[in-house]
Chain A
Amino acid sequence: MGFAMNDEWIKTNTFHYARFCDLNQVMAAKEKKGVTISLCLPTLNEEKTIAKELVILRSELMARYPVLDEIVVVDSGSTDNTRHIATSFGADVYNADDILPHLDKFKGKGENLWKALYITKGDIIVYLDADIKNIHHRFAYGLIGPLLLDNDIKFTKAFYDRPIAIGKNKIRPTGGGRVTELVIRPLFSLFFPELTQILQPLSGEYAGYRAIFENIPFPIGYGIETSMILDIYHKWGLDVMGQVDLERRVHRNQDTKSLGKMSFAILKTFINRKVQLNLIDLKNEMFDEMIQYKLIKGRIEPDIFRYEGHERPPIVEIPEYREKFGIDTGPQH
């Protein structure tokens, strides 16, 4: 079966970061809109990369060009020096468990991003992974640019050519995006062909207006990027989204088993969303365990990864959030 999809989006809503490299123009647009901008770095043992991200972003987008109003680090309980280093380089550092402490505690990137909504003040939130080895301030201003200079775009997502760091100090020039090509793209092609125009739906760098993020649920773990796209697409349509070419991003390579776990979480999130949106019926509950195998002393042993798929509700439904941001505290649905 074919689908007559809107294939114009990729032409009209795809940008290159260089279009927004005039930071005076970005600042003027920010002033004109009268918005504030927060940047959040979710961390878990990122002592090797966090300082560099903070140095460059604070220098270029706070000290020299005040594009960002705050940078916060939300940490999942790092056991290395991440929090100490981040503090010493000027970030506001939070332990995720200490934010809205009366709620059940979960560990995961999605949890940190969701809680960041509570502690940040900005009208626009920029989320960057904290493990970007070749960090450059374009990662932030490239995502912010379309939000300020295009009145229709409310959410931006990065794409790039991702070299993989292999072995000791060597870079393989192309690669990455295996889960995207083997899992996400086939799923989007089967169910939401328009979304295939998003070139790297799993990229960890995105930005958007608070009004978008506060109204969507956040899965705790790997499924956050997939669910975010599906929810924004379902609620507001494709046209509020933009994607930005940030050119090159160097990241740590992950082994196939890790990618398998990631794929499991993404598939579960995706199928759950399909059920919630009444797009499919599931006759049986899905299981929570990804079963892989490993060889231990000549014996094959199961290696089980448990992913229950916990999800935070839209934060606008949390009374403390509504109170903090002065939102009408009437009954929520």
Chain B
Amino acid sequence: MDDYLQRLPGFVDVIGSAMETILTNILLIGQIPAPTFQEKVRTAVFLERLADFQVDECTTDGYRNPIAIIRGTSRAKPPIFVVAHLDTAYEKTVDHNYTVKEKTISGSGILDNSVGVGALLSLPEIFRRLELTFESDIVLAGVIQSIGKGNLRGIRHLLKTWSTPIRGAVIVEGGELGRLNYYSDGMIRGEIICRIKKTEGQAHGTKVNAILVLNQVINEILELRLPQRPRSEIIIGKITGGIKHGVSAQEAKLGFEIRSDSDKMVRMLHNDIKDIIDGISHEYDVDLGLSTVSNVNAARLKFNHPLVKAATQVMETLGLNPVSEPSESELSIFLSRKIPAVTLGVTHGKHYLDQYSTMAIAPAFKGLAQIIGVIMAINNGVCDER
């Protein structure tokens, strides 16, 4: 067994001894609201914390992604990126003050992605306690404008403008501990808006109902034949519309996502939906618009890629059972640029999608040990072998 793997189980207790600092990082960053496109204050705190931990260089790139660099011992080795997205799905008016209990922390956006960012902020202190140094520079990046309409703009810009090769990357998500993402589906996330054309003299418009029109759109989407290979799916994820119970809806909006491991299939399905919309728009005489919210290309590491094998070994050494699913996130952008990368989860949680989401404290120490193990594997050269 590699030397670094043997050391990993011993890391967990040392990381646990930094519990107060790790939790403080999660709390101080997570309690600052940061809806997508409004991450400025969280960015400032991110940099303040890392500067306070004596990280060598703390700055923002041209797109205002905060980054900090822990200088490595070899100038010849390309940097290793550790990335967590800063933005959350919650508006500023939502209470972001977390509740800490004996074994858990709860609150808005804790799992997506306060834990991830807090873990990243804690790495310099954990490296110090473990007396770890690396040949590569370690670039700690909190990327902005990631989720939803952010469309991964932060990471796209960071990688587009980064001037040197990148050795490998670890993307840190709050949960779920045990995830090992190394491939991304192609994806298009779109919105369909239906607006009923106004007719003069009719206080409530025509009798055409925008929600029923979208219902027809949904029915026709569901009738599309999806192949088993390449693996493909269309998710109807959001619907809003109407004003009150007794009035036909004049406007309605539908959010959907097309995913496939083939970019070509994603484009074909997108075109099919466009045809459906054109047809229904003509048939019902309504304004029916289709817009793309975000999109990524399919990309993957093979299962036998040394990084995937090393990450699997790291997790198994720590008693974790790796679970692999596609992930459409920062991972997609690294992989599409041929930079080996994996996404890992820090801890276990529940109620991921609501304001009372909850993280478990104790498993996070193993989650952090796992992240450090993968960084050490990259530093040892697992991404250099091809």
- Residues of A at the B interface (CB closer than 8 Å) are 47-49, 51-52, 55-56, 58-60, 63-64, 81, 84-85, 88-90, 133-134, 136, 165, 169-171, 250
Contact = CB atoms under 8 A, between A and B. Distances in A.
B21 A250 contact: no
A59 B28 CA distance: 12
B95 A51 contact: no
B3 to A, nearest CB: 30
A164 to B, nearest CB: 11
B20 A48 contact: no
B89 to A, nearest CB: 14
Interface of B: 20-21, 23-24, 27-28, 31, 93-95, 97-102, 108, 355
Nearest to A250: B97
A103 B24 CA distance: 39
A89 B20 CA distance: 9
B266 to A, nearest CB: 36
A59 B27 CA distance: 12
A60 B99 contact: no
Given A59-B24, A169-B108, A169-B355, A52 B98 contact: yes
A236 to B, nearest CB: 36
B358 to A, nearest CB: 14
A134 B32 CA distance: 10
A60 B24 contact: yes
B95 A58 contact: no
Given A55-B27, A169-B108, A171-B93, A85 B21 contact: no
Nearest to A167: B95
Contacts of A59: 20-21, 23-24
Given A51-B102, A85-B101, A170 B95 contact: yes
Nearest to A133: B97
A22 B26 CA distance: 21
Contacts of B31: 134
A52 B94 contact: no
Given A51-B101, A56-B20, A59-B21, 6 more contacts: A49-B99, A59-B23, A89-B102, A169-B95, A170-B94, A171-B93
A133 B27 CA distance: 11
A90 B17 CA distance: 13
Contact of B95 (A47, A90, A171): A171
B340 to A, nearest CB: 34
A115 B302 CA distance: 65
Contacts of B93: 170-171
B161 to A, nearest CB: 32
A89 B361 CA distance: 13
Enumerate the 4 nearest inter-chain pairs by beta-carbon distance, A residue then B residue, closest first.
A59-B20, A51-B100, A133-B97, A59-B24
B98 to A, nearest CB: 7
B21 A64 contact: yes
A84 B102 CA distance: 9
A134 B100 contact: no
Nearest to B95: A169
Contacts of B23: 55, 59
A313 B117 CA distance: 50
Nearest to A60: B24
Given A55-B27, A56-B27, A134 B20 contact: no
A85 B28 CA distance: 20
